[in-house]
Amino acid sequence: LQLLVLASTLSFAVVGGVVGMRLLLLARRTRQLPELTIGLGLVLIAPLGYPLMLVATVPGFFPLATARMLYALAMALTSVGCASIFVFTWRVFRRDAAWARVLACCAIVVLLVQAVANSVLAFVVPTLEMMNQLNLWFLIRQLAMLLSYGWTAFESLRYFGLLRRRMRLGLADPVLASRILLWGVAGLLSFGAAATRAAIVATGGDPLHSAAAPLAIGAGGFLVSLALYLAFIPPAPYRRWVGRRGAAAHA
């Protein structure tokens, strides 16, 4: 199971990192906010913050002082990454909605405050394993992350529902619709993995030694990697297959 987690974390880190870098390079050319925020979110979470947080909490992997610093760094990286995903969802799906702007701004403040609090806590607790135990800041962090993944999944899947209806009238591109669906699926799977971790901790379990966490994180990591790859770097045969299916449905 630990090997499964390792392999899935690696695939998530590589695919998320490559997709994120491509999007950041695109943002450099276009100077547009959506590609900047989603690229930043993927680069800061997938290859940097998430793996760093995993290894920092493994007992004995690093000397405690180093582990504490790496954990604080991971907190900062994942929090800014999550905040970027909030901004992406707001600007892409609910640009004109005042409630979405308020939600995104509140979430950014909460993420930054909890990042500072959790970083301070990491230097105070006797061992970093204790950071995986239920406390107020752990709870706030998990809720903010769940909202980040859950909101982007909800908005993407809702928009995919609209595109499906448009496809019947020939008003939407099936490949594009599949891209939005896959981003929604990636968000939903990330939500599932984060929810599993939160549930294990809330019930007094240890995510590092639980059987459910590696399964959820392992399977989730592989599927998120696949969804990101197909959504942002779709290979030609996949695009042709989706296009043919869309054309058949339209006909």
Partner 1 sequence: LAESQAFDFVCTQLEEKTSLDRLAARGTVRIALKQAGLEARTVTREQLRVVAERVLPAELQARGVENCTELCSAIGRGLSRLAPGAATETPDEIFRRLGGGT
| Nearest distance from C-beta of residue 194 to partner 1, angstroms | 23
Q: Which residues contact 117 (CB under 8 A, 6 or more apart)?
A: 137, 140
| Nearest distance from C-beta of residue 49 to partner 1, angstroms | 21
Query: What's the half-sphere exposure (Cβ side, CA atoms, 13 Å) at 154?
Result: 9
Between residues 10 and 33, which has the closer beta carbon with respect to partner 1? 33
d(CA 105, CA 95): 13
Between residues 138 and 160, which has the closer beta carbon with respect to partner 1? 160
| Nearest distance from C-beta of residue 169 to partner 1, angstroms | 5
| Nearest distance from C-beta of residue 95 to partner 1, angstroms | 8
Closest CA relative to residue 87, chosen from 47, 117, 44, 142: 44
Torsion of Cα atoms, 138 then 126 then 79 then 104, to 10°: 30
User: Where does this chain bind partner 1 (CB under 8 A)?
Assistant: 23, 26, 30, 32, 34-35, 38, 92-93, 95-96, 159, 161-166, 169-173, 175-177, 179-180, 183, 231-234, 239
| Nearest distance from C-beta of residue 55 to partner 1, angstroms | 30
